[in-house]
């Protein structure tokens, strides 16, 4: 069958784990083990080990050592613990303050001394569990102190991911963009993010939906390589965050983060242009509260039931200045007497007297819309060729987007055998669009509004010290929507247009004026649901810690997004009133509009909301085998299945990439459009940790990691045959449509959802069938082979140093390939003909337009040296430092523009020459260094106890591709030929040119290392001559130049002042980009090719090529006040 049914797979998982009677998600706990010996080194069986949470007084685990003197507590919630070891005839040992972090496998050994008395020896637990002697995985814990105290722009704790080795990302120098994050050579959008064991990753794109407020997080761990088999559906990082919990003490805080542009430095390029600092009014505020659940006289939750709650709001004033070109009062009344451009009366073929259109000839709809348009309010720039002024209208407003979020968590301990927790997060985001022109003619994207929910439930039952089960359920809902500004108007009453497909302003294109009316992406309804369930059984037997589990997710992606044409599009290009029937002149285009003379128009009947579905199943077994006291083997096997997508209402179709045939769900194809899921996805993992001595551990691992197929579920997609588009196309030079603007285009389109094949039957080379985005295959499932080997050593003063080699190889990675392409040997012929019809007739299937499809044919390779040094915050100082030296190569780095630092590099004919695409990955940064230092000052009282927190990051720039654009659409997005060996074309000095920085050599430099690639013609019609032939695509590969590197220093200074009543006031100042270093963005890398009229030769005409005109943020200051108790 095409895909397994969700119910059967869930039943299968339950059968496999029937003895467990439980579920488990990604690890949000720790484990603790050790060996107990006597004074001579002999092992002690029968020692009672008790692990008690310091904050809640809850016993998390109690058991006895086995015959080898070993104890293992396999599942312990994160927190600080006292470990007590007792045996008759020996002194009791109490180890205080053992801190267990998320997914940590800590080891605490102890030696008992003989005694006939009841004596207790107390030692501190700070020095235990620092070396990772029980696991071979690579990762990093970001602890509570770092989350709460390090400087974080926008209070996003994920910015600290840069402290983990192997992490590369686009985004600001002061932070990280999780949607553009690659870990150890993985594709972007291939990292998993969980909160309390529940994934918060979008089922449609793989991007992060939302993390709870940083104030609500206790800590999180980022696993970067060779993690255990319980982690799946990712070939990148697995980031596991834990929300804070209540304790026996009632505690809380109220806080405010404040920014204002008066505290900030101005941007480098603003200073070059003489522009003022942009407005920056930022207020982030909220509170936290946690403690025991208490109902006076009814229930006391002390030592067993606890709550935690957090509210956070954000208000940020965002100034907007929109500059438009609109007709002045004379133009909008038809008076063009001040313009040198002649306006022809299409009825007579003669100029209008005085170059004025009589009032009775102005179309009623045009007149109504001109009355709705505000008058120019800026002098603008004179345009002598048309007698008007451009950029003559400025609209200023200050938008205030708002974010609100509530998180609540309950933890309950039902004795020593059962624990339960539940968490709920609600968020709401309101983002008004930047208005461009007031009123119903506003072309701005609609106002967006998002609300969402996150729910996590978990239960752990301990049957014995060696056997326990865990249960976890999760539900996510993300509900974004966009509303157009003019939605709901009476089009005939307000605009004067009789026929309209939608109650809103159609889109109006008037050449060389600012567009009016609804733009694309102005209407959207979207509901994303994600249901998760997982289970695990943990069984400790002898030297083995065995874990068996299953995980199941069901994804729903319901979307209605009709694009730009649902309200209609009208084009006025000036041909109708031009004396030469030429297009593109602003005066003639405005005259066409006033006469209601429509050149072209189109509209569409959009497809209904589609309900896309898929599911994922994972089964795993993990065995951590303590072979000897020094050697631990981590062995696991995981099975992954990801179903192909289907659509709940069967509004689903695609073009077969091989035949061009239209396939429709449940008609001539299966519900999954004959796309089958890959059912043989086994991911073995094996690693070892060998303790050379008490201070040195050798660690190595290898594993296979499968990725989820986000392209399978897709984004905003219109399926052929279900969206009906009606074109009123070009009737010939200078000929208008038979309808006027006030009449509106005919509503003649017919939509039959039961017969989507009519678009295929009616397709012609003049009106070809368009495929849109295509999901070509769901198998084989993409995967990554990962390996690492390294040494970890404690070097003194609590400092751990780790030196590792980490590598990976990606296989079957999805790439967007082009199908029904024009054959390479017909390229010159098509460009010479210079017509859409000639282009279409050259395709293998002339009735089908060219289209792309996601195919799993990509490969990648990554090698790195990773150095880490860390010290926990003790004795007033702690730090975390990492350096990565790496290289990543692939033949395509992603599928979506938003997930690539410099966008997707798509071009003509590249799929026919894949060897020129294999190059550096788009996220490749050879050198990445990051260090976070925390220090509390000593000395006299005046300067004592000041918290100093610093983050320093330095990283190489990202690679970028030099593209060439020719005159014909077929020949755009090519690459030039290389003349010498200077592939980057770097300028010897970065010097200012006006308000820009010269980074790459200008095209007129004698050492410019590139030359144009054809085809390029001069002239028009029968007189066209070939200037530059087309023998092959340019030989310059992708990502051959590199952007400037970045260096950034962020600083936070804080001090806590005691207040009466047990309160405390903490005042903090944070400076981001403290040194105000200019971290430049990338240069313009587009080359335009023209024919030099003086020589008749092809030359580059790209004055902005190689210039950098923007930079990342200048220094900005954030002030913080917090009251806690």
Task: Quickly count: other Cβ atoms within 10 Å of residue 433's Cβ.
Answer: 19
Q: Residue 270 belongs to what H/E stretch?
A: helix 268-273
Q: Where are the domains of the chain?
A: 6-124
Q: Phi then psi for 844, rounded to 5 degrees?
A: -55, -40
C-beta of residue 561 within 8 angstroms of C-beta of residue 497: no
Q: At what angle do helices 586-595 and 364-372 cross, to 10 degrees?
A: 120
Contacts of residue 771, defined as CB under 8 A and 6 or more positions apart, other chains included, come to 654, 655, 720, 819, 848, 849, 851, 852, 853
Q: What is the pLDDT, as a whole number, of residue 217?
A: 95
The CATH number given to 6-124 is: 2.60.40.1120
Counting as low any pLDDT under 70, the low residues of the chain are 1-27, 126-129, 172-174, 564, 709-716, 772-778, 905-910, 966-972, 1020-1022
- Residue entry with tokens 């430095």: 265
- Strands of 79-86's sheet, edge to edge? 59-64, 48-53, 79-86, 92-100, 120-124
**DSSP output for 209-265:** --PPPGGGEEEEEEEEES--TT--S-SS-EEEEEE----SS-EEEEEEEEE-GGGSP
Q: What is the pLDDT, as a whole number, of residue 700?
A: 98
pLDDT digits (tens, 9 = 90+) for 919-935: 999 999 999 999 999 99
- Residue entry with tokens 């949607």: 179
Checking phi first, is residue 297 left (phi over 0); if not, alpha (psi -120 to 50) or beta? left
C-beta of residue 546 within 8 angstroms of C-beta of residue 625: no
Long-range contact set of residues 153-159: C-beta below 8 Å, sequence gap at least 24: 153/1050, 153/1072, 154/284, 155/213, 155/214, 155/215, 155/257, 155/284, 156/211, 156/214, 157/211, 157/214, 157/217, 157/220, 157/241, 158/208, 158/211, 158/239
pLDDT digits (tens, 9 = 90+) for 846-866: 999 888 888 888 999 999 999
Query: Token pair of 726, please?
Result: 């009606």
For residue 634, what are the β-bridge partners? 624, 687
pLDDT digits (tens, 9 = 90+) for 1023-1051: 778 888 887 788 888 899 999 999 999 99
Q: Phi then psi for 330, rounded to 5 degrees?
A: -65, -45
Q: What is the pLDDT, as a whole number, of residue 992?
A: 87
**pLDDT over 90 for what percent of the chain?**
64
The three-state DSSP-derived secondary structure of 971-1021 is: HCCECCEECCCCCCCEEEEEEEECCEEEEECCCCCCCCCEECCCCEEECCH
Q: What is the pLDDT, as a whole number, of residue 826?
A: 87
Task: Quickly count: other Cβ atoms within 10 Å of residue 271's Cβ.
Answer: 15
For 627, the 3-state DSSP assignment is coil
Task: Quickly count: other Cβ atoms within 10 Å of residue 682's Cβ.
Answer: 11
Q: State the Cα–Cα distance between residues 477 and 209, nearest whole angstrom.
A: 9
Q: What is the pLDDT, as a whole number, of residue 868?
A: 97
CA 148 to chain CA centroid, Å, is: 24
Q: State the Cα–Cα distance between residues 153 and 175, nearest whole angstrom.
A: 7
Q: Residue 871 belongs to what H/E stretch?
A: strand 851-874
Query: Token pair of 277, please?
Result: 């600092």
């Amino acid at each position: 069958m095409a895909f397994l049914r969700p119910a059967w797979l869930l039943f299968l998982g339950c059968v496999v784990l029937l003895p467990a009677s439980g579920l488990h998600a990604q690890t949000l706990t720790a484990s603790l083990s050790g060996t107990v010996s006597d004074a001579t080194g002999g092992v002690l069986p029968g020692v009672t080990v008790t692990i008690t949470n310091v904050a809640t007084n809850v016993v998390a685990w109690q058991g006895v050592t086995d015959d080898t003197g070993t104890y293992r507590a396999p599942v312990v919630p994160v927190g600080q613990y006292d470990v007590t070891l007792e045996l008759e005839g020996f002194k009791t040992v109490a180890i205080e303050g053992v801190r267990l972090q998320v997914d940590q496998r800590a080891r605490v050994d102890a030696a008992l001394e003989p005694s006939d008395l009841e004596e207790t020896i107390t030692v501190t637990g700070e020095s235990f569990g620092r070396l990772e002697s029980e696991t071979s995985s690579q990762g990093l814990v970001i602890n509570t102190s770092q989350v709460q105290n390090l400087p974080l722009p926008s209070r996003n704790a994920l910015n600290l991911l840069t402290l983990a080795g192997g992490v590369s990302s686009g985004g600001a120098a002061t932070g990280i963009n999780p949607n553009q994050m690659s870990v150890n050579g993985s594709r972007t959008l291939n990292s998993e993010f969980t909160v309390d064991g529940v994934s918060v990753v979008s089922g449609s794109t793989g991007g992060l939906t939302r993390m709870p407020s940083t104030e609500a997080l206790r800590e999180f761990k980022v696993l970067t390589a060779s993690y255990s088999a319980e982690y799946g559906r990712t070939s990148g990082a697995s980031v596991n965050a834990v929300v804070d919990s209540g304790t026996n003490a009632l505690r809380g805080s109220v806080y405010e983060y404040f920014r204002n542009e008066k505290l900030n430095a101005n941007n480098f390029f603003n200073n070059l242009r003489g522009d003022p600092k942009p407005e920056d009014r930022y207020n982030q505020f909220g509170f936290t509260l946690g403690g025991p659940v208490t109902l006076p006289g009814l229930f006391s939750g002390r030592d067993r039931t606890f709550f935690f709650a957090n509210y956070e709001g954000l208000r940020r004033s965002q100034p907007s200045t929109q500059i438009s070109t609109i007709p002045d009062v004379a133009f909008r009344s038809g008076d063009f007497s001040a313009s040198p451009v002649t306006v022809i009366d299409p009825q007579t073929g003669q100029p209008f007297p005085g170059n004025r259109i009589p009032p009775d000839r102005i179309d009623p709809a045009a007149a109504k819309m001109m009355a709705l348009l505000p008058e120019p309010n800026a002098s603008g720039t004179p345009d002598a060729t048309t007698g008007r002024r451009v950029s003559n209208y400025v609209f200023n407003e200050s938008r205030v987007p708002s974010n609100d979020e509530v998180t609540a968590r309950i933890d309950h301990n039902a004795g020593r055998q059962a624990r339960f927790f539940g968490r709920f997060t609600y968020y709401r985001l309101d983002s008004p669009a930047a208005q461009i022109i007031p009123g119903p003619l506003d072309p701005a994207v609609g106002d967006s509004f998002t609300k969402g929910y996150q729910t996590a439930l978990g239960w752990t039952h301990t049957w014995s010290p060696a056997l326990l089960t865990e249960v976890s359920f999760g539900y996510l809902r993300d509900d974004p929507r966009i509303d157009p500004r003019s939605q709901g108007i009476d089009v005939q009453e307000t605009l004067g247009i009789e026929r309209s497909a939608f109650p809103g302003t159609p889109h109006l294109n008037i050449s060389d004026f600012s567009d009016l009316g609804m733009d694309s992406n102005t209407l959207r309804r979207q509901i994303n649901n994600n249901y998760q369930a997982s289970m695990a059984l943990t069984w400790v037997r002898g030297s083995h810690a065995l874990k068996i589990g299953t995980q199941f997710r069901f994804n729903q992606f319901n979307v209605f997004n009709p694009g730009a044409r649902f309200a209609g599009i009208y084009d006025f290009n000036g041909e109708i009133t031009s004396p030469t029937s030429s297009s593109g002149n602003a005066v003639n285009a405005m005259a066409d509009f006033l006469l209601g003379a429509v050149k072209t128009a189109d509209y569409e009947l959009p497809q209904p909301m589609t309900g896309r579905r898929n599911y994922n199943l994972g089964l795993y077994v993990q065995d951590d085998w303590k072979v000897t006291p020094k050697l631990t083997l981590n062995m696991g096997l995981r099975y992954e299945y990801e179903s192909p997508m289907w659509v709940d209402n069967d509004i689903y179709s695609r073009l077969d990439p091989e035949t061009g045939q239209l396939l429709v769900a449940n008609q001539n194809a299966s519900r999954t459009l004959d796309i089958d899921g890959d059912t043989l996805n086994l991911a073995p993992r094996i690693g070892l940790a060998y303790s050379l001595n008490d201070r040195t551990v050798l660690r190595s691992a290898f594993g296979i990691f499968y990725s989820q197929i986000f392209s399978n579920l897709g984004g905003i997609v219109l399926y052929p045959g279900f969206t009906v588009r009606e074109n009123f196309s070009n009737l010939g030079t200078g000929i208008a449509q038979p309808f006027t603007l006030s009449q509106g285009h005919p509503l003649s389109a017919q939509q039959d959802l039961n017969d989507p094949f009519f678009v295929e039957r009616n397709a012609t080379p003049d009106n070809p069938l368009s495929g849109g985005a295509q999901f070509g295959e769901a198998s084989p499932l993409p995967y990554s082979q990962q390996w690492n080997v390294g040494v970890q050593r404690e070097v003194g003063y609590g400092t751990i140093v780790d030196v590792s080699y980490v590598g990976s190889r990606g296989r079957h990675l999805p790439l967007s390939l082009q199908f029904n392409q024009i054959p390479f040997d017909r390229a010159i012929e098509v460009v010479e003909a210079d017509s859409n019809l000639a282009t279409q007739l050259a395709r293998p299937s002339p009735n089908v337009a060219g289209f792309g499809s996601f195919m799993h044919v990509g490969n990648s390779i990554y090698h790195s040296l990773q150095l880490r040094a860390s010290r926990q915050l003790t004795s007033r100082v702690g730090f975390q430092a990492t350096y990565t030296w790496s290289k990543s190569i692939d033949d395509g780095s992603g599928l979506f523009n938003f997930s690539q630092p410099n966008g997707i590099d798509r071009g003509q004919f590249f799929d026919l020459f894949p060897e020129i695409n294999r190059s550096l990955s788009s996220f490749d940064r050879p050198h990445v260094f990051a260090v976070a230092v925390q220090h509390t000052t000593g000395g006299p009282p005046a300067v004592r106890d000041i918290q100093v927190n610093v983050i320093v990051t330095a990283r190489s720039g990202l690679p970028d591709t030099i593209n060439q654009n020719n005159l014909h659409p077929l020949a755009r997005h090519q690459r030039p030929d290389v003349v010498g060996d200077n592939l980057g074309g770097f300028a010897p000095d970065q010097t200012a040119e006006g308000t820009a920085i010269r980074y790459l050599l200008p095209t007129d430099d004698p050492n410019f290392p590139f030359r144009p690639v054809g085809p390029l013609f001069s002239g028009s019609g029968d007189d066209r001559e070939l200037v530059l032939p087309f023998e092959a695509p340019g030989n310059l590969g992708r990502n051959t130049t590199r952007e400037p590197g970045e260096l950034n220093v962020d600083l936070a200074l804080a001090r806590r002042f005691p207040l009466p009543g047990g309160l405390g006031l903490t005042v903090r100042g944070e400076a981001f980009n403290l040194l105000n270093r200019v971290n430049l963005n990338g240069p313009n890398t587009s080359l335009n090719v023209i024919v030099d009229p003086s020589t008749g030769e092809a030359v580059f005409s790209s004055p902005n090529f190689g210039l950098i005109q923007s930079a990342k943020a200048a220094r900005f200051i954030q002030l913080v006040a917090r009251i806690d108790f």
